[in-house]
Amino acid sequence: MAPTATYGSWPSPIGAELAAAHGGRPDHVGFVGDEVWWTAPRPAEGGRRALVRRRDDGTEESVLPPPWNVRSRVIEYGGQPWAGTVRADGSALVVFCHLPDQRLYAYEPDAAAGAAPRPLTPVSGIGGGLRWVDPVLRPAQGEVWCVLEEFTGPGPTDVRRVIAAVPLDGSAAEDRSRVRELTDGRHRFVTGPRLSPDGRQAAWIAWDHPRMPWDGTEVLLADVTGDGTLDRPRTVAGGPEESVPQVGWTHDGQLLHLSDRSGWWNLYRTAEDGEPVALCPRPEEFGGALWKIGLSWFQPLDGGLVAVVHGKGATALGILDPESGELVDAAGPWTEWAATLAVHGPRVVGVAAGPRSAYEVVEVDTRTGRARVVGCPHEDPVDPSYYPEPQIRTFTGPDAREIHAHVYPPHNPDRTAPGDGLPPYVIWAHGGPTGHAPLVLDLEIAYFTSRGIGVAEVNYGGSTGYGREYRERLREQWGVVDVEDCAAVARALADEGTADPARLAIRGGSAGGWTAAASLVHSDVYACGTIVYPILDPAAWADGETHDFESEYPQSLIGPLDEVPARYRDRSPLEHVDRITAPFVLLQGLDDVICPPAQAERFLARMAGQGVPHAYLAFEGEAHGFRRADTTVRCLEAELSLYAQTFGIERSDIPRLELRT
């Protein structure tokens, strides 16, 4: 029988360093010839993203050494940062975006040893400079087509975006005029082009302020002329109230797109009369929120089948026969497939994870149905008996609405809790807010559950994965529905005897940081909170204190600022610091341009003298979303120390977080 110890005091082999070392996931899969390539996180290398190839013998190789960092900053969240191909002479060519200068580079991985990537695009000193994403290689034409984001002034919204053609010979590396613009910039946001198999047409997605891409987007189709220009662009799908997050072509030249016109993101084919035909109409999602440029939920195969990521809540990788509508899922332990797919012949490659495994690169052979891990294989860094066993729960909120959540009870094989005690619980609010908490192994969650602190991730109203109606519960209700739903889950766990009602905490980052801060203002449920790179001043956020992509997001989340200013004041954590009575820790990256540190600093200035214990940890070199291992370690230990002090837990194995009033 395991020794008895109070909840929260349990020793655990899952340390902060271990959790930090396994942060992030592989992403942006693709093929270069027969080889599978992807980007992978390197927390111990300053948080850079490496470009990785899987050779024919199954070995993985990091293609470029530090400091090469394959990540785009277009719309700040980036997107597909690389593309590769094998040219007619059999040599490989890869084009990628390097994070520090945001230039495009060409790299020939099989060239003579020591051959460095060569720049293709120039540097601009205006505002955020020139940025590139979602490249499409056209080696026969000597170009790469991609999205260009160009700053025209010093402000975050002084920006334009177009599809552009960059010469592969490097002639534009010092000469901006050598970049050919293929679109006229009439739309604020565009994705990269998808070329028809015969190369005679190109399709892409566009949208404009104040819409976000999950509100309404348009599919544009243009003819590709003999001189490589886009002629007669016209709208062929989508609209102001219809979200299309991806377009693509079958190998016989039929245009496919995802659309939520039915209330769910489903896959459609454009018929000869221009009308969309649903290929597998179901009340589930075959797509998601387009937070990054170039996300991929489907990929057509040569024989007419289509690989699709689909599901309600959890997701699966399926192979769809568009003629019959038959859909067969790949077998395996994975419950979440990321929005990145690539195909080559009968092979489909994606990135997937499950409750007992972190994200790994998975290949499915559509001839046999066999699925196997081909990259970043999950290896248990500790005995998996220390992992939590998640529960998929549906709770009831105000107005009898459903609230989806994943509950992770405390679990440690080496300790049991006293029979008369209830565990503390932390409610996790995901970012977005148009986002989703996936059901996957997360060592940051296990860090707490293995110590006797439960975690409940709430997919509050506004989350993706449950249809458009569920997403739109948050329309003009941000700071209300999200706060109510998190509190409803917390109260339900307490009422059913799962959680200690006196030891509940709230935690979230970005939009989840807003929900955490707003919860401390508008709810008395929580004993403390962890607020991570948050939005704290929505009026300033809607008035230029953020990046362009989300600058008008508050119009749908709260309402137009000039029409409902009182609503902004009522919901703002900054305006109501006097209502906060629970201790908190605020964690902030000093390079964050999405949720800038200025908001955190104003918030803390108003908290001064309020008598509420709190701490502020700011991190040089960190932006929106912490990537460095040492940052993650400091944050996890600080968060645990806050809970220990607030919940009356004795722990001597972590640095004590100094709280001030």
pLDDT at 23: 87
pLDDT tens digit sequence for 488-531: 999 999 999 999 999 999 999 999 999 999 999 999 999 999 99
Return the DSSP state at 490: H
pLDDT at 113: 66
In a domain, 298, yes or no: no
- The band of 88, judged by pLDDT with boundaries at 50, 70 and 90, is confident
- The band of 419, judged by pLDDT with boundaries at 50, 70 and 90, is confident
> Using an 8 Å Cβ cutoff, are 80 and 294 in contact?
yes
| End position of a domain, from candidates 246, 279, 312 | 279
Within 10 A of 12 (CB to CB), how many other CB atoms are there? 19
Separation of alpha carbons 573 and 580, rounded Å: 9
Query: What values do phi and psi take at 577, rounded to 5?
Result: -60, -25
| Paired residues of 54 in beta bridges | 36, 60
State whether 393 and 248 are in the same domain. no
In a domain, 559, yes or no: yes
> Using an 8 Å Cβ cutoff, are 245 and 287 in contact?
yes
In the predicted model, what is the mean pLDDT of the chain?
A: 96
pLDDT tens digit sequence for 597-621: 999 999 999 999 999 999 999 999 9
Q: Is 108 helix (H, G, I), strand (E, B) or coil?
A: coil
Is the model's pLDDT at 418 over the cut of 90? no
Percentage of the chain modeled with pLDDT above 70 = 100
Count of structural domains within the chain: 2
**What's the whole-number mean pLDDT along residues 72-101?**
96
pLDDT at 114: 62
In a domain, 416, yes or no: yes
In a domain, 176, yes or no: no
Query: What values do phi and psi take at 459, rounded to 5?
Result: -90, 75
One DSSP character per residue, 499-510 reads S-TTSEEEEEEE
Is the model's pLDDT at 4 over the cut of 80? yes
- The band of 195, judged by pLDDT with boundaries at 50, 70 and 90, is very high
In a domain, 134, yes or no: no
User: What does the block give as tokens for 406?
Assistant: 């994943």
| Paired residues of 83 in beta bridges | 95
Pairing of strands 218-224, 357-365: unpaired
pLDDT tens digit sequence for 326-372: 999 999 999 999 999 999 999 999 999 999 999 999 999 999 889 99
pLDDT at 384: 97
State whether 468 and 585 are in the same domain. yes
Percentage of the chain modeled with pLDDT above 90 = 93
In a domain, 270, yes or no: yes
Name the amino acid, one letter, at 144.
V
Longest alpha-carbon distance in the chain: 78
Domain range for 634: 383-647
Is the model's pLDDT at 588 over the cut of 80? yes
**What's the whole-number mean pLDDT along residues 140-154?**
97
Continuous H helices in 532-628: 538-541, 554-557, 565-571, 597-607
Choose among 55, 92, 24: nearest CA to 82: 92
Query: What values do phi and psi take at 597, rounded to 5?
Result: -60, -20
Checking 84-89 for CB contacts under 8 A at 24+ apart, the result is 84/30, 84/31, 84/32, 84/37, 84/137, 85/32, 85/33, 85/137, 85/139, 86/32, 86/33, 87/139, 88/139, 88/140
In a domain, 182, yes or no: no
| End position of a domain, from candidates 279, 301, 329 | 279
pLDDT tens digit sequence for 425-437: 999 999 999 999 9
Is the model's pLDDT at 553 over the cut of 80? yes
pTM: 0.96
Checking 263-267 for CB contacts under 8 A at 24+ apart, the result is 263/467, 263/468, 263/469, 264/467, 264/468, 265/297, 267/298, 267/306, 267/308, 267/320, 267/322
**What's the whole-number mean pLDDT along residues 77-88?**
96
Separation of alpha carbons 622 and 650, rounded Å: 31
Choose among 85, 81, 72: nearest CA to 35: 85
State whether 556 and 437 are in the same domain. yes
- List the beta strands (DSSP E) in 152-295: 159-167, 180-181, 189-190, 194-195, 201-207, 218-224, 230-238, 247-249, 255-259, 266-270, 276-278
State whether 412 and 269 are in the same domain. no
**What's the whole-number mean pLDDT along residues 230-243?**
96
| End position of a domain, from candidates 279, 306, 340 | 279
Is the model's pLDDT at 1 over the cut of 90? no
Return the DSSP state at 538: H
Separation of alpha carbons 625 and 633, rounded Å: 14
Cα 79 → chain centroid: 10
User: What does the block give as tokens for 568?
Assistant: 């902004």
pLDDT tens digit sequence for 451-460: 999 999 999 9
Separation of alpha carbons 411 and 409, rounded Å: 6
Taking the CA atoms of residue 487, residue 492, residue 498 and residue 500 in that order, the dihedral angle to the nearest 10 degrees is 50
pLDDT at 272: 76
Within 10 A of 582 (CB to CB), how many other CB atoms are there? 21
| Paired residues of 161 in beta bridges | 149
Within 10 A of 363 (CB to CB), how many other CB atoms are there? 20
**What's the whole-number mean pLDDT along residues 127-155?**
96
- The band of 534, judged by pLDDT with boundaries at 50, 70 and 90, is very high
**What's the whole-number mean pLDDT along residues 41-69?**
94
| Paired residues of 267 in beta bridges | 258
User: What does the block give as tokens for 40?
Assistant: 């992978």
The single residue listed with the structure tokens 């020793």 is: 11
- Which string of b and e fits 365-394 if b means at least 16 CB within 10 Å? ebeeeebeebbbebeebeeeebbbebeebe
In a domain, 652, yes or no: no
Question: Which CATH number is 490's domain given?
Answer: 3.40.50.1820
Kind plus residue range of the DSSP H or E element containing 491: helix 481-495
State whether 402 and 256 are in the same domain. no
Separation of alpha carbons 511 and 623, rounded Å: 15
